[in-house]
Amino acid sequence: MKLIDLHCDTFSRMYENNILNVENNDLHIDLNKLIKADSYLQVFALFDNKDKTDYKLEEFNKLIDFAFDLIDKNKGKYNLIKNYNDIEDTHKQHVLISVEDMGSVDGSFENIKYYYDRGIRIGTLTWNYENTLGFPNTMDSSLGLKKFGKEAVEYMNELGIIVDVSHLNDGGFYDVSDITKKPFISSHSCSRELCNHTRNLKDDMIRIIADKGGVIGINFYSLFLNEQISGATKEELELLIKNKNYEKLDEIIGKQVSKNEDIVKHLSHIKNIGGSDVIAFGSDFDGISCSLEMKDISGVPSLIPLLEKAGFTGTEIEKLYYKNTLRLFSDCL
């Protein structure tokens, strides 16, 4: 079964740790693991860490350079996707680049165009901090996109950069849904009905993305899959998130295990709410601190028997694994 995954932080992790070996390393994703997973296309997110860059394009550009240099040096192994027609039957691993947190555009349309010219084709509008486009994930619907954020969504539509609402607050989500003329995505999110976390999507949001022709990539992070976290109460976790104490949060979540059955539960719920055309994968590999029952991306095929047991048809599984995302790319790239 071919696999397309909408979000991983592998290139960012390689940059931080000066890892240059793309074939075999200790991360969740490398070429050998992708081959075992029957990966067809992997979206590599470039994460703009505000703590290090303070949203300066000059600093973030170092990561952009690293990623595209890595692809260029491995042309025999990677096939960079900039347009839908670049996707072809090949022995190479298809690669598409996204940016997680567009803060480094710093209110400049020229910088968004620079993203596009470099080859970035998905833009996650925010991360966990306010930026010039909008506000991070909260359930506050009163804070929508900023003026520049609204204009940026229109410009991204025009250029051919897919708008990604993962990490965006509720008000910003509804602004995107009102403004965008093209399908949009939530690249690595789960169901808020099953796990009441601000990073997850309400049922009406799921329907909106589906109605717009978008897709939702299920995140494999245990904090977004299951509210039952040992070692801390829900209130304590919420306080850590509110205070942005991610080091302590990672310490707690690092002791948890992301279970395959929880991933399937979220996929089933989202399919039941939005239909089989909206489901996809957005693992967040190499960006999550929990342990994983499937270990790494090579274990994604192990979900198929659980999906069949949960009532997914063969056609629905094909849509989930790659066809829905391919359709999205044909509509947007």
Q: What is the sign of the dihedral through the CA atoms of 281, 86, 100 and 214?
A: negative
Backbone angles phi, psi at 122, to 5 degrees: -135, 135
CA distances from 283 to 8, 62, 130, 221 (A): 6, 25, 24, 8
CA distance 317 to 264: 11
Residues 120-157 pLDDT 10s: 999 999 998 899 999 988 766 678 999 999 999 999 99
Report whether 96 contacts 144 (CB < 8 A).
Answer: no
List the domain boundaries for the chain: 3-332
CATH of the domain spanning 3-332, picked from 3.30.450.40, 3.20.20.140, 3.30.70.3270, 3.30.300.30: 3.20.20.140
Q: Assess contact for 197 and 223: CB atoms under 8 A.
A: yes
Give the pLDDT confidence of 49-83 residue by residue, as tens digits.
777 777 888 889 999 999 999 999 999 999 999 99
pLDDT tens per residue across span 179-213: 999 999 999 999 999 999 889 999 999 999 999 99
Tell me how far apart the alpha carbons of residues 329 and 43 are, in angstroms, rounded to a whole number: 12
Per-residue pLDDT tens over the stretch 215-237: 999 999 998 999 887 677 777 77
The rounded distance, in Å, linking the Cα atoms of 275 and 179 is 23
C-alpha–C-alpha distance, residues 173 and 31, integer Å: 34
